[in-house]
Amino acid sequence: MGRGLVNRLLALLAAFAALALPGMARAEDGYDLWLRYAPLDDGMAADDAAALGPVTSASAPTPTIIAARSELERGLAELLDGHEPAGRGIVLGLARDLDGAAAREAATLEGQPAGAYRIARLADGRILIAAQDDIGLLYGAFAFLRHLGAGEPVSTIDDISAPAFSLRIIDHWGNPSGLVERGYSGRSIFDWWHLPDRLDPRMIDYARAEASIGINGVVVNNVNAKAYVLEPRYIAKLRRLADAWRPYGIRVYLTARFSAPMELGATGTADPLDPAVRQWWKDKADEIYAAIPDFGGFLVKANSEGQPGPQDYGRTHADGANMMAAALGDRGVVLWRAFVYSAEDSTDRAKQAYNEFVPLDGKFADNVILQVKNGPVDFQPREPFHPMFGAMPHTKLMLEGQITKEYLGFATHLAFLAPLWKEVITADTGHGGVVAQNLVGMAGVANTGSDRNWSGSHFDQANWYAFGRLAWDPRMSSGNIAQEWAAQTFSRDPGFLAEVVPMMLGSRQAVVDYMTPLGLAHQMGTGHHYGPAPWICDLARPEWNPCYYSKADAGGIGFDRTATGSDALAQYAPTVAAQWRDPKAMDEDYLLWFHHLPWDFKTQSGRALWPELVHRYDRGVAEVDAMAATWASLAPNVDEQRFEDTSEFLAIQQREARWWRDASIAYWQSVNHLPLPEGAAPPAHSLDWYEALSFPDAPAD
């Protein structure tokens, strides 16, 4: 009998057993995400479970309160796995509808922003979930289930929480055709073709998942947008989604193509100062708001990578953004992307966004928010924080992170990204405060798709989860987020968590090490960004080439961004620039980002740069081997399908980490003509072999 058949029979048996014996491990495919509400009997005191009584609401039912209540009932039924809740009960209530001790607890929320909630145990034994608005009750319900799901005893649950940012948004890069740009988990989750007549029930599970981590806005279409999504037939589709998501506190946003009025045949120009163009956008906004009164607004990618924009008419980003902002009025916001670099500009690409936007500080309308990528180039495994953060005190900024792993091994490689985002949001800008203090919101590029497990891999669910949690509370530690997620998603067993959490926390550094150590960047294959291609140097635009970023030659390696080079360093506040100026004293994670150094430059380890580079590649490969070994040891804690899925991906990652290491080393050697450091294994193949690999079928290009 083949292994596949045996596995299938075993899975069937397990499914039957799970039906027969409540509490036994269920067959799982990842669809339920962190909301799987696995039975609590693994360690929950009987008394404690008994405290979980029936859910009542002190406030009149609204769609959001009904959703909160039904989520609690569903969650508790599964957590208690058939045991009757026998406690005094759980009461949901808006502050204004509560009295006595409950009202006093709810009063602690005064002055807190929309969505804040309070969870407390009342003296009479009831559990109170209170808020000042309906959505706060839903967030509170999810928070209560999260505490339980993560294994916290009911008796210690006491929580008051409010979102740090008012805008917590997910950006989808799917096209109406269903293809997702940089999406590695199947096709788009949106069934545009059948909307508005059919609403995929998955849209409700999607909204539950987003609300459970506090996401309150979703941009439904790609930044490289089609003009026709602004046509009435798409507004009808959008309206159906907006109506379905409203109870979950999710506002819909659209990416608007700047040239839309012209492309849709209404005007002869898209000049933002042209009265007919301005009127068209105003009418369009009115039309959208008539259908969707809480429409969030427009996301715009303008004058970037070939997209149209105000500069096509000699106008500034501010002219363009303000024109759209005027059309929306106080009904919504314009999320104007700062990801720009120009075909005509020979300036260091890392400097261009700052150069274009910082002089416009103070010129943007109140409802314009600049959406700035975490780093100055493009979602690399590691970049220093974007110099625009902190440099535009009179402009609202929002951070854009990429949850989908375009440059970090797609969905296949296990890389937990909370440490990447934490590095950025906790970075001191040198202008007063850390990056997070300079933001009004966070937007994450989605990694969800039509795959059964939503994210392409089980561990990529953790990145979706982490992004939402950080957008709610940027002070959370990566470790806490990993722990919460893994306990809810896989197992609350302390032995399991003690292994899996450190594995997750080290995983992103491993990717940095085997792909682009010591501050290298953008060494990926052309277009699809799959695998190593440091040798590419003949593409039309200089900044498309990996060699542009490495500047590797016989004399050394790295991009000189000090005063002797592009001086990108000068875009940072003096205290920040100072910490990166001296290659001998700085944090070496950014070494070759800022400096071009000879191969024999002495690094802090005492090794010369060349052996240090090789050492880091080896460290990355070894870390992935260790991750695979850790995971193998966790088989008893994980259901069969998710265990196997993850094991198979880790095996690919082990192979691809070696490929990255070997191909990179083979190429650097062809440039520096240096022997391998003592003890280092030679690449498995010749450089020619690596260079000849081609992947016209790599996904999502």
Q: In what order do the strands lie in the sheet with 159-161?
A: 55-57, 90-94, 127-131, 117-121, 159-161
- Is residue 378 annotated as a catalytic residue, yes or no? yes
Local structure of residue 84 (DSSP, 8 states): P
Q: 168 in helix, strand or coil?
A: strand
Binding residues vs ligand BDP (CB under 6 A): 181-182, 223-224, 301, 305, 339, 378-379, 406
Catalytic-role residue among 210, 378, 543, 623: 378
CA 297 from centroid of its chain's CA atoms: 20
Could you tell me the smallest distance in angstroms from the CB atom of residue 377 to ligand BDP?
Answer: 9
Catalytic-role residue among 78, 406, 423, 513: 406
Could you tell me the smallest distance in angstroms from the CB atom of residue 114 to ligand BDP?
Answer: 29
212/222 with CB nearer ligand BDP: 222
- CA distance between the termini of the chain: 40
252/353 with CB nearer ligand BDP: 353
φ, ψ of residue 120 to 5 degrees: the values are: -145, 155
The CA distances from residue 320 to 20, 325, 364, 394, 408, in Å, are 63, 9, 10, 18, 33
Could you tell me the smallest distance in angstroms from the CB atom of residue 444 to ligand BDP?
Answer: 12
User: Residues 109, 130: contact at Cβ < 8 Å?
Assistant: yes
79/521 with CB nearer ligand BDP: 521
Buried b (16+ CB within 10 A) or exposed e, 588-621: bbbbbbbbbbebebebeeeebbbbbbbbbbbbbb
- Residue in the block written with tokens 């008539």: 290
57/371 with CB nearer ligand BDP: 371
98/442 with CB nearer ligand BDP: 442
- Residue in the block written with tokens 């959703």: 67
Could you tell me the smallest distance in angstroms from the CB atom of residue 436 to ligand BDP?
Answer: 21
Residue type at position 673: H
- Is residue 406 annotated as a catalytic residue, yes or no? yes
371/453 with CB nearer ligand BDP: 371
320/583 with CB nearer ligand BDP: 320
**Class of residue 526 by CB neighbours under 10 A (exposed 0-12, middle 13-18, buried 19+):** middle
Buried b (16+ CB within 10 A) or exposed e, 6-26: eeeeeeeebeeebeeeeeebb
Could you tell me the smallest distance in angstroms from the CB atom of residue 662 to ligand BDP?
Answer: 25
Distance CA 698, CA 290 (A): 42
Could you tell me the smallest distance in angstroms from the CB atom of residue 544 to ligand BDP?
Answer: 11
C-beta neighbour count of 477 within 10 angstroms: 12
303/395 with CB nearer ligand BDP: 303
Could you tell me the smallest distance in angstroms from the CB atom of residue 401 to ligand BDP?
Answer: 11
Distance CA 358, CA 317 (A): 11
Catalytic-role residue among 305, 366, 553, 582: 305
Which residues lie below 8 Å from residue 669, measured CB to CB, with a gap of 6+?
676, 687
- Two tokens, residue 315: 């106008």
- Residue in the block written with tokens 């402009």: 395
Could you tell me the smallest distance in angstroms from the CB atom of residue 299 to ligand BDP?
Answer: 11
- Is residue 305 annotated as a catalytic residue, yes or no? yes
Distance CA 292, CA 286 (A): 10
Residues composing the chain: 701
| Residues annotated as catalytic (active site), given as ranges | 305, 378, 406
